[in-house]
Structure 1
Amino acid sequence: MYLRITRPVVLLALMLSLSDPAYAQKTISGTITDASSGESLPSANISIEDTYRGTISNRDGRYSLTIPDSLLPATVVVRYLGYNTDKRTIERSSNSTQDFRLEPSTLQMDEVVITGGDPAIGIMRRVIERKQQWRKRLDTYRAEAYTRQTISNDTAIVMISESVSEAFWDKEQGHREVLKSRRQTANIAASDNFAGVSYFPNLYDDNIEIAGFQLVGVTHPEALTYYDFRLEDYRNIDDRVVYEISVSPARKLQPLFEGTIYVLDREYALLEVSLQPNDVVTFPQPVRDFNTFYEQQFNNYGKEFWLPVDMRIRGDIKISMVGLDFPTIRFRQVSQISNYEVNIPLPDSLYRKKEHITVDTTTTGADSLFVSAVKSVPLSREEEVAYSSLDSTATLEKAFKPSGFLARFIDEEGDENGNGDDGSGFLNRVPGSFSPVFRYNRVDEFYGGLKYDIGIADRVELNVRGGYSTGYRAWSYGGGLEYELVNAKGFDQSIGLEYLAGTVPQQQSAIYGAYFTTVTNLLGERDYYNYFRSEGYRVFTGLEFPRDLSAVVGFNSQEHSSLSQNTSYDLLGRSPRLQLNPDVEEGSLRSLDLRAGYNLDQGYNFGVTGIDKIAFSVELSDDMLGSDFNFARYTGSVQWSFPTFYQRRFLSNTLDLNLAAGTFSGRLPLQRLGLLDVSIDHFSPFGTLKTRQQTPYMGEQYLMLNAEHNFRTIPFEALGLQKPVDWNWSLIIFGGAGKTWISDTRKQAILDRMGYLVPETGDPHLEAGISLNGIFGLFRIDLARRLDQPAYLLNISVARIF
């Protein structure tokens, strides 16, 4: 005997399976108002008794709460500071519209205990002690979260994004979040929807990150040394006294909060906080104003742990610079966190990646969770209008179009079909990218050419370059091919081939490219480099290991030949002095090289930001390789940025060090001597010896140490000088020391053979100075004094920003 399953049976089963969720929960909604005045009560705390489930009302006092069928009948509890709590039993048959009218609560003064001094000190000491006790027992939690973010300009909402997610927290590993569903206004793509709760703080934490600043929380174990607490008033909720305590920073140079907190008596727990960062939380130009306000409620749901119910953020950001003024960016967020599961095992997969937020791609493709299952905070009337009116043409570029005389240089949007045209014509339609190459020096005279880069296959990169020198009337050309191999043994590998025939500097600078000196050369200044022509190839393999460690091994085969000076020019019409280009030791150089270190790909940025990089290299040349030269050259460099004082700030004080050294064995050719960088004209970025201009030191061996400490705006803040702080000026002290060595025999041999005296330091070069950083937000001015001989120099360089 068997059962025949017919099509109607299948359809009926499918209908029943699809309809289950509708019967498995009940959603109630309504408004929370003041029973006396009828005014709406925004952010009222609504929860289901004896559970970790709940929500909050929106700014109009409206709410929506979904109750699982398994909890029915359920007792819904509505709390609001200063009002009596209202409770109501909800049955499956209850009306879906449930309005709550809360009665103002009468203050019971007999609950207040006054002690010597400001009572807030004793209250906060108890809050901190209680928190440490229950936090020890809180290891993990999982919760359901809903987040809505809105962006407005000076006139209206220009963007809304929403998300439904699962939020996770681990005492040791921190926050993680998995987005389950999201929706947004039609003028932004889903990929631009970053709404989530894990980016935003729990104001009950000891340390709280706000926009890169590490703020001390108001319940930090040392909060009483960072903050001044003052009891301002008494509130109440039901028959319980709530202490209203004002918070103000006790340390004016630390990033801290100010505002108001509300503490429940007997429990000594935070019920609600309303805080904003102090004036220390500022950003460099072009950010002119950054104001944020944070409001958060907590609930223990009748249990042991006080957990966040919500997070409400208001923020205004003003960006302005000379010639450009953008409309104020107004940011609003409301997050609701509910249905906690406490001290449960969390999936190991959550913490395998560094990302705080990941996307569940199986659920984010539709709005179904928003339609049927989300216990979200209702949209305000203004937000409902924005959702219905914002379409794909209402772009953020239009909403925040700047004004000012530079505004016309901001890229315009493309045509109505979304097709922009920058006028490049043919080159725009060729795969890959073209970039111009040009320079001027006393050997090439004017050099012009092109470089072309293209990915010709998966993980295969090709570049080709070429150009012409009018000085010695020759073409330069070259290119490279690199193939990246993905290795499953813990490292990645690449192999490549490079070819070059062209002009190269005799010594390699760690700071200035050969093109950098073009302007000073045209102005008749002494050429920073000497040059020769190199023709040959290099084959190499690169290895990339975890933790940003890497190594490159290569073989070089090059033909080196001397070049002569061809021009001496001055745009200002002066008669520049003749500067010969010394010969090199000509011949075939074949060598093996190894370069290894940490963050090798991190390029130099003229001191704009701190760099953490370590590099070591070895080059071996021997006649066994068919080389005309026999030597071994060893070089190393360390650049590191150490945070020092005020590390809780977005930009802490920093100490930057630059160490460079080189030595050798055998007989180094002239074109392999080491170099210590100095200033070019009056431009002296970090890593140079600032009190020497145009002529770098050279030697077979060299050693240099540069150090500078950036005090940021702290000295001006301490002196009460607000204008320099507003202009984001900062003070930097710096020093440098360097020495090169070259044997007398080698020095004389170079002089006899090539008529060239190698510029060396002799005694160590020593210097120190002070900088004013952030002039117009772009520059720094250095006043440097040479210590080993009387000399002062005033230089300029690029401002240190980070």
Structure 2
Amino acid sequence: MKNTGIFPYSRNSSILALIAMLLFSAYSFAFQPKAEDYVEYRGEVVNSSNGRGIASAFLALNNSNISTITNEDGKFSLKVPEDLVEATVTISVLGFQSKTLPLTYFKPQDTRIELEETVEELSEISLYQATDAKLLVKEMLTKKDENYFNDESLMTSFYRETIKKGWSDVSLSEAVLKIYKTPYNSAKKDLVSIYKARKSTDYDKLDTVAMKLKGGPFNTLYLDMMKYTEYVLRPGMLESYEFSFDDPTKINDRYTYVVDFREIDHSDPWYFGKLFIDAETSTLVKADYSLNVDDRSKAQEMFVKKKPNGSKVYPVELNYEVDYAQNNGKWRYAYGKAEMEYVVNWKRKIFNSRYKINSEMVVTDLENYAGEDFRQTESLIRPNIVMVDDVSGFYDTNFWGSNNIIEPDKSIQNAIDKIKRNFEDER
């Protein structure tokens, strides 16, 4: 049996089921301090050479577990307790030099942070003497217990899920999740608890077909390659892939090897991408990879469980990203992103429909877990859950106030505002 990278599959099971009704959503959990207990800072992170926004830049409040990440346009929202006025914030992203700024630099609105591209020749990386990419990946896997969290922890994370039909935004779900993160040296699965969801969907733009995505937040949580090695970095993968070195780089001012990997067997959809491995510790700190689905029949067999009569449904692009953060010398999951594009062909229609489904999760807080059995103290969602609509969160103005979130794209926000007005008109 081969694995998809999110869930294991066989010819009788799949990650995604496509049916004639759309059920997309997300859930949330949040510890919410009073509004006066924190200060919100907004702004953007840009490339110093051209002023363009930098997506997926991490902003971490030093000596704390508070962090956030920029959206596609480089926008961010960072919320900090009032008593941390003397703190500093480190901004980092692949390909740019990290920067640390005092919190006093940040403003409630229009904070502008410029990062310079990394142009340094990384000759020092030769000090680590890695000459065989396959052996480096092997060392990375064998050092998992040494490099990653082996304590139980409780994560607060922000989850976001969007659907586009063509260029139109038709659905947005957002959630704050409470995640019981099991140790990396344990075979136990992570657990996810929910509190509340908010979602808005323009069903008029969805034709009569829609997508049912099993897993919701688990689709991004299971991208944690070092925790769930059975999906991509599975036993035997060293013989299943070709490995080669790309140009090295720097991440958070640390020298990093870049290893290209490519699955050898192309009889089914196959993986390819890049592993970013810390040169000094052989730790996987980032991965960008994709699943080749050029074989439409095999891709449909893998991902499509049901579809409306008179239609053909298949994926055309599947891209994934996972990033890790370091706490007290140990690494843990920090960010996951899945981008999926599907085509729906109807027999009696000239033009097909294209749906882009993006889901993101970023960890905003982390603490050691010393509580009772998490299963008994929280209401959990199952990995194969089918989410349901919950639009009430859009009317709860205080719900998101105390949590760092990924700022919505402007086009997404415009779509939400339009849908909100429609709901209000119906009341």
2:191 corresponding residue in structure 1? 176
> Is 2:97 the counterpart of 1:84?
yes
Cα drift, residue 230 of structure 1: 0.8
1:74 corresponding residue in structure 2? 87
| Match of residue 58, structure 2, among 39, 45, 54 | 45
1:199 corresponding residue in structure 2? 219
| Match of residue 177, structure 2, among 165, 171, 175 | 165
Partner letter of residue 100 of structure 2? Answer: K
Structure 2 Cα separation of the partners of residues 249 and 222 of structure 1: 12
Change (3 A) 1:251 1:206: farther
Q: Find the residue that maps to 2:224 and give its secondary structure.
A: coil
1:461 corresponding residue in structure 2? none
Change (3 A) 1:369 1:172: farther
Cα drift, residue 257 of structure 1: 2.2
2:132 corresponding residue in structure 1? 119
1:34 corresponding residue in structure 2? 47
Kindly provide the CA deviation profile for residues 258-287 of structure 1, in whole angstroms up to 9, marking residues without a partner as x: 112222211222222111123477123733
| Match of residue 382, structure 2, among 355, 369, 393 | 355
Cα drift, residue 228 of structure 1: 1.3
Change (3 A) 1:274 1:69: same
| Match of residue 96, structure 1, among 108, 120, 136 | 108
Q: Find the residue that maps to 1:384 and give its secondary structure.
A: helix
Partner letter of residue 289 of structure 1? Answer: P
| Match of residue 312, structure 1, among 330, 337, 340 | 337
Listed as ranges, the matches of 1:486-525 within 5 Å are none
Listed as ranges, the matches of 1:504-653 within 5 Å are none
Cα drift, residue 366 of structure 1: 5.6
Structure 2 Cα separation of the partners of residues 258 and 369 of structure 1: 43
Q: Find the residue that maps to 1:282 and give its secondary structure.
A: helix
Structure 1 Cα separation of the partners of residues 416 and 83 of structure 2: 34
Partner letter of residue 166 of structure 2? Answer: D
Kindly provide the CA deviation profile for residues 195-230 of structure 1, in whole angstroms up to 9, marking residues without a partner as x: 95233323323646xxxxx7332xx45331222111
Q: Find the residue that maps to 1:184 and give its secondary structure.
A: strand
Structure 2 Cα separation of the partners of residues 65 and 131 of structure 1: 31
Q: Find the residue that maps to 2:196 and give its secondary structure.
A: strand
2:285 corresponding residue in structure 1? 271
Cα drift, residue 241 of structure 1: 1.8
Q: Find the residue that maps to 2:154 and give its secondary structure.
A: strand
Structure 2 Cα separation of the partners of residues 288 and 196 of structure 1: 19
Cα drift, residue 342 of structure 1: 3.6
Structure 2 Cα separation of the partners of residues 344 and 85 of structure 1: 34
Q: Find the residue that maps to 1:83 and give its secondary structure.
A: coil
Q: Find the residue that maps to 2:195 and give its secondary structure.
A: strand
Structure 2 Cα separation of the partners of residues 277 and 283 of structure 1: 13
Change (3 A) 1:125 1:195: closer
Question: Contact 1:147–1:195 at 8 Å: present in 2 too?
Answer: no
Change (3 A) 1:77 1:114: closer
Partner letter of residue 103 of structure 2? Answer: I
Structure 2 Cα separation of the partners of residues 70 and 196 of structure 1: 35
2:9 corresponding residue in structure 1? none
| Match of residue 387, structure 1, among 416, 419, 427 | 416
Structure 2 Cα separation of the partners of residues 196 and 289 of structure 1: 18
Structure 1 Cα separation of the partners of residues 255 and 398 of structure 2: 40
| Match of residue 293, structure 1, among 311, 315, 319 | 319
Partner letter of residue 88 of structure 1? Answer: L
Cα drift, residue 183 of structure 1: 1.7
Structure 2 Cα separation of the partners of residues 21 and 309 of structure 1: 26
Partner letter of residue 113 of structure 2? Answer: F
Q: Find the residue that maps to 2:97 and give its secondary structure.
A: coil
1:23 corresponding residue in structure 2? 36
Listed as ranges, the matches of 1:396-475 within 5 Å are none
Structure 1 vs Structure 2: percent identity of aligned residues? 16
Change (3 A) 1:292 1:193: closer
Change (3 A) 1:327 1:289: same
Cα drift, residue 186 of structure 1: 5.6
Counting matched residue pairs gives: 361
Question: Contact 2:47–2:116 at 8 Å: present in 1 too?
Answer: yes
Cα drift, residue 71 of structure 1: 3.6
> Is 2:283 the counterpart of 1:262?
no
Cα drift, residue 353 of structure 1: 6.8
Structure 1 Cα separation of the partners of residues 364 and 152 of structure 2: 15
Partner letter of residue 223 of structure 2? Answer: N
1:245 corresponding residue in structure 2? 259
Kindly provide the CA deviation profile for residues 400-456 of structure 1, in whole angstroms up to 9, marking residues without a partner as x: xxxxxxxxxxxxxxxxx9xxxxxxxxxxxxxxxxxxxxxxxxxxxxxxxxxxxxxxx
1:283 corresponding residue in structure 2? 300
Structure 2 Cα separation of the partners of residues 104 and 130 of structure 1: 31
Structure 1 Cα separation of the partners of residues 68 and 381 of structure 2: 30
1:470 corresponding residue in structure 2? none
Q: Which has the larger radius of gyration?
A: 1
Structure 1 Cα separation of the partners of residues 313 and 329 of structure 2: 43
2:367 corresponding residue in structure 1? 341
What is the TM-score of this pair, normalised by structure 2? 0.74
Change (3 A) 1:368 1:166: farther
Partner letter of residue 289 of structure 2? Answer: L
Cα drift, residue 124 of structure 1: 1.5
What is the TM-score of this pair, normalised by structure 1? 0.41
Cα drift, residue 299 of structure 1: 0.8
Cα drift, residue 61 of structure 1: 0.4
Structure 1 Cα separation of the partners of residues 139 and 155 of structure 2: 28
Q: Find the residue that maps to 2:142 and give its secondary structure.
A: helix
Question: Contact 1:49–1:74 at 8 Å: present in 2 too?
Answer: yes
Structure 2 Cα separation of the partners of residues 139 and 313 of structure 1: 27
Structure 1 Cα separation of the partners of residues 240 and 213 of structure 2: 37
In terms of fraction of residues, the more strand-rich structure is 1
Q: Find the residue that maps to 2:218 and give its secondary structure.
A: coil
Q: Find the residue that maps to 2:246 and give its secondary structure.
A: strand
Change (3 A) 1:239 1:377: closer
Partner letter of residue 184 of structure 1? Answer: K
| Match of residue 216, structure 1, among 221, 232, 244 | 232
Question: Contact 2:191–2:380 at 8 Å: present in 1 too?
Answer: no
Structure 2 Cα separation of the partners of residues 195 and 184 of structure 1: 16
Listed as ranges, the matches of 1:726-765 within 5 Å are none
Structure 2 Cα separation of the partners of residues 89 and 353 of structure 1: 39
Partner letter of residue 159 of structure 1? Answer: S
Gaps of 5+ in 2: 1-31, 204-211, 305-311
Structure 2 Cα separation of the partners of residues 94 and 55 of structure 1: 14
Partner letter of residue 145 of structure 1? Answer: S
Kindly provide the CA deviation profile for residues 625-667 of structure 1, in whole angstroms up to 9, marking residues without a partner as x: xxxxxxxxxxxxxxxxxxxxxxxxxxxxxxxxxxxxxxxxxxx
Cα drift, residue 36 of structure 1: 2.1
Cα drift, residue 156 of structure 1: 0.8
> Is 2:156 the counterpart of 1:144?
yes
